[in-house]
Every structure is written in C-alpha cells, then in structure tokens.
Structure 1
C-alpha cells in the first residue's frame, strides 16, 4: 500500500514555529496580528494573509517573504514529533508499505524537518508545492505521487488532519484518513469526505494494518 502523509498536524506539532513566523511577518509590516492563529496551520499562506492585508498583492508577497525568512532561520526547528508517530511509522515500514510525505510546506522548509526525524529514511519521497503558488495543491501532488509510484488509487491512502488532505484524496479517488490529534476538527474532516477518522497514531497503524 502507498501511504501518503501530511506533515503539519499529522506527523509533527508545528504550532509554535508557524504561529511565531506569522506574528513576525505582521510585525515586520507594522500590522497587528490576529489574536487567534491556530487556524493558520494547514491553508496556504497567501490564502490566510490576503483578507487581513486587503488582498494587496505586494503586501501579501512581503508578508510571505518575511514568514519564509524567519522559518528558514529558526521556525523549522520549532516543532515536536507527536507521541506514537515514530512507532507507527516503523510498524508500517515493517509491514512493507511504501511511505511518502505530501505537504503544503515548500520543499525547502519541509526537507530539513523530515531529515531531522530519527525515522527519516522511512519516506521514499517528499512532495511540496511551488512556494509561489497561492493554492494548497494537495490534489496535484497526490496525482504526482500516484504517477511516480505507479500506484493503484484503490491501494493508496492520504493521511492528514485538515480538509485540504481529504479534498486532495477525494479528487484522486484514494481513501482519505483523517487524524484527530492535529489542527482540524472532526466536523471538517467528515464534511470533506474522510473515509475514516483515527484518534491516535497507534489506532491509525491498526487501521492500515487491517
């Protein structure tokens, strides 16, 4: 089976790094940051910055650049691997599944994070969007993974915590499995059409083993 994993909110708790970089971007622009920033984890940055910067293309691009500058320097280190994830990944690898990551993070930010994992070699490929894109691109990245691996959609799963992950799975006719330990809600995942929901990495490993 080909198992495609989201990164933020699925393998790692990256709230500190993402929120700190968003606040930094607003500070650099002299614009007050929203009090609640947790919902920024998952959507493309331009999608989130746009409404708060009057959809001014120059301001939005400046905010994204400020975000990326801090993330490249320190933000990528401000994360923790969720408890139970390493054991889950090891179990899936031992079972012979092929593992890859499909993330909304640009590859230049996702790569050092993944390389820092003790289980980094479990993942065959890493897919990230063009950093200039305003879209999540989960659907196109999943399609690319299916093509690269020559995988049957019926033997592929996309695992993530936000509707973007499930939307991408549905678009490619693969099963989307929602995880409830991340940043999305049960309602969000169910409305997107999640095939199943799991509460812990151990439960996810059991589901995929079955």
Structure 2
C-alpha cells in the first residue's frame, strides 16, 4: 500500500516527541505548589493529550474547587513554559522523516493541543523550525480551538487539496478530526494511552513506528 500525499499535519505530543516524563514532573510540582496531594500512579501516559483542565480532572477527579484548578493550571504553565532543562525526547526516526518530507517539497504542519509558548520552546529546542510551514497550538488565535478548526484553517490558508492531505497523531481526537474534515487519518501506535480501540476504529491506517510510515509513503513517484 503506497500513500501519496503532498501535505502532512502532525500532532506533537506522542507523535513527534515523548514529553511524558517532563509533563509528569511539572504536574507534580504544580499540585505541590497548592499543597494538594495526588495519587502519583495517575501520572501515567494515559492522561497526556487533552487540554490542561481535562488532564487535571484525570489526575484529581475528586477536585471540584475551580479556583484551585485554575491556580494549578497557572502554576503548571509557569513551570512548564519556562523549564530550561526539559527532558522531552524526539521519537526515533521522526527527525529524519521530517527532513525527508521537506527534501521532497512536501507541506508540513503541526496541530497540537499544547499552547503556543511551550510548543515553540520545544520546536526551538529540537531545531525543528525549518521543517514546518506553520505551527498551530490550541491558543494560536487567542482562544482555544479544536483540531478540526486547526485543520480547516490550514487547508484554507494554504489552499490544500484534501485528498492529498493527511493528519498523523496518536490520539483519537487527531484521526476523528481528520475524518470530520475529509482528510486521511493515520494513527500512531507508539504514542500515549494504553487503550488503542478508538484510535484504531477511527483511523484510515495505524502504524507502529516511523519506519512503517516511511515505507507506506510514496515519494519518488511524485517527482517523476
């Protein structure tokens, strides 16, 4: 099976980078900053991906104090946005694949639920700036936007052919957004979350690693 696409939209966490260790450390510090004890077994990869307040509810479902939730959000952002010793890592093979896409003149975008400040910090950390045509965070336009809205804006702004566009991500929201916007959706099985049922159900294709993605994409034929 060869997939021929001109436009690639990537999720960030769980797709390009493994930020789980860094995120867990920052959440632990944010809860400690308000003297709130948590069950640290809840700091696991299953919580990563949704918007910040949803993650806090997963970590502390019994917490209903909205002021405290807002303070934890604020403290987490302060800690995470400014961490100069971020221990996040690129997944094996992703940098080489992104470079290959640009070498073959593909359009490459990022659509993530992470806010723009930490997203750009990570892009700079891993020197990915020149590999993306545009980057969309959840607050790119000053308010929270959905993955569908990100994809639609990318398609409209860059006049992309939907049939030649693919969304690649590890969360069901990534491939569901692809389905809802009429583009191809590839689920990455190396990402976060132990239950892959919804990801597999809503993906056009699921892949186990970057090498598998590379082997399913046709490059040379497009250049002829």
TM above 0.5, one fold?
A: yes
The answer to whether structure 1 residue 8 and structure 2 residue 13 are counterparts is yes
Matched residues in 1 for 2:197 and 2:23: separation?
23
SS in structure 2 at match of 1:77? coil
The answer to whether structure 1 residue 18 and structure 2 residue 23 are counterparts is yes
Matched residues in 2 for 1:61 and 1:139: separation?
26
Which residue of structure 2 lines up, in the alignment, with residue 36 of structure 1? 42
The answer to whether structure 1 residue 201 and structure 2 residue 210 are counterparts is yes
Where does 1:90-129 land on structure 2 (aligned, <5 Å)?
A: 90-129=99-138
Matched residues in 1 for 2:84 and 2:76: separation?
9
Matched residues in 1 for 2:47 and 2:172: separation?
13
Where does 1:55-204 land on structure 2 (aligned, <5 Å)?
A: 55-74=64-83, 77-130=86-139, 137-184=146-193, 185-191=195-201, 193-204=202-213
Query: How many residue pairs align between the two structures?
Result: 208
Deviation at 1:163, TM superposition (A): 0.9
> TM-score normalized by structure 2?
0.85
SS in structure 1 at match of 2:173? helix
Which residue of structure 1 lines up, in the alignment, with residue 54 of structure 2? 47
CA RMSD of aligned residues (A): 2.0
Matched residues in 2 for 1:76 and 1:43: separation?
23
Call closer, same or farther: CA 1:121–1:82 in 2, change over 3 Å. Answer: same
Deviations 1:126-173 (CA, angstroms, capped at 9, x unpaired): 00012886x671111111111111112211111001112112112211
Call closer, same or farther: CA 1:72–1:39 in 2, change over 3 Å. Answer: same
> TM-score normalized by structure 1?
0.90
Gaps of 5+ in 2: 1-5, 220-224
Call closer, same or farther: CA 1:85–1:137 in 2, change over 3 Å. Answer: same
Deviation at 1:76, TM superposition (A): 7.4
Deviation at 1:75, TM superposition (A): 7.0
Deviation at 1:101, TM superposition (A): 0.6
Matched residues in 2 for 1:76 and 1:174: separation?
37
SS in structure 1 at match of 2:133? strand
